[in-house]
Amino acid sequence: MQSETTPGTTPAPAGKTLPGNEAMLSVRNLKKVYKTDGGDIEAVRNLTFDLKAGELACLVGPSGSGKTTLLKCISGLMAPTEGEVLLNGTRVSGPPKKMAVVFQEYGRSLFPWMRVRENVELPLKNQGVPRAERDKLVDDALEAVGLSHVPQSYPWQLSGGMQQRVAIARAVAYQPEVLLMDEPFAAVDAQTRADLEDLIRTVWRKLGVTVLFVTHDIDESVYLGERVIILSSSPTVIQEDLAIDLPDERDQLNTRSLPRFTELRHHVYEQIQLAKQGHRPAAAVQTDSGAGSATA
């Protein structure tokens, strides 16, 4: 779905929005300006979109378009300059209990002195989840990511792909309503990456969790997502919010061989190229000129 303009108005370029009671996660007119010694950096100009419960959306955009900034604002790790993030209608003002984040740098997100099991268990312990319940959640999560055989290993005894599975198990055990993933597979080899993509879709379908998955990889965004939100170049607005109408059952060989997969990846690729060249959606151009600022 491309952002649309209404003649005679200067609307903010928006992604897909839903009636309030249908949205689990709402990003509303979100703007982030970093104050630095060298001046202000407007990382995100104006982002609006909703995710409904149980949706898996991917977010792609040129390098520096503010993807990590957006995830930090959504996860309550950083306050937006303007606008807001709502989780089930409640404004996010700090890390919400029912949100988990998986980062790219699994090496830094796991504690090397803790065994796999202890790493997965830690957030549950911190939440005061009783021992028996904790044990069950950890067992189930390790099984879901195929790591039931290494609970006593230390992270550094595992491959990169296995370490990222531990990070995913930790997020899964925590039973989040929303799972945010920031380039989680960027540091693993191609084969492991394909396995982890399938793991995410399996876990997503099994748990019904709402997922926002940031990636640089266009093919990955189309393969994984029910929707791909494409960001413009900085100062960032939504370039396009695209529904991925591929069959729900996906597998690496067949899905990626479908003509529709090729069409969708071409489309996303073209949009990213346009974004890199500074093209902005019509509604953003109106807003840009209305705000009196230069476009990218």
Residues in the chain: 296
Q: What minimum distance in Å lies between the beta carbon of 31 and ligand ATP?
A: 12
- Closest to ligand ATP by CB, 61 vs 225, is 61
Q: What minimum distance in Å lies between the beta carbon of 284 and ligand ATP?
A: 17
Name the site residues for ligand ATP (rule: CB under 6 A): 34, 36, 41, 43, 61, 63-69, 234
Q: What minimum distance in Å lies between the beta carbon of 32 and ligand ATP?
A: 8
Q: What minimum distance in Å lies between the beta carbon of 8 and ligand ATP?
A: 33
Question: What's phi and psi for 83, nearest 5 deg?
Answer: 80, -175
- Closest to ligand ATP by CB, 34 vs 156, is 34
- Closest to ligand ATP by CB, 41 vs 114, is 41
- Closest to ligand ATP by CB, 207 vs 272, is 272
Q: What minimum distance in Å lies between the beta carbon of 66 and ligand ATP?
A: 4
- Closest to ligand ATP by CB, 61 vs 151, is 61
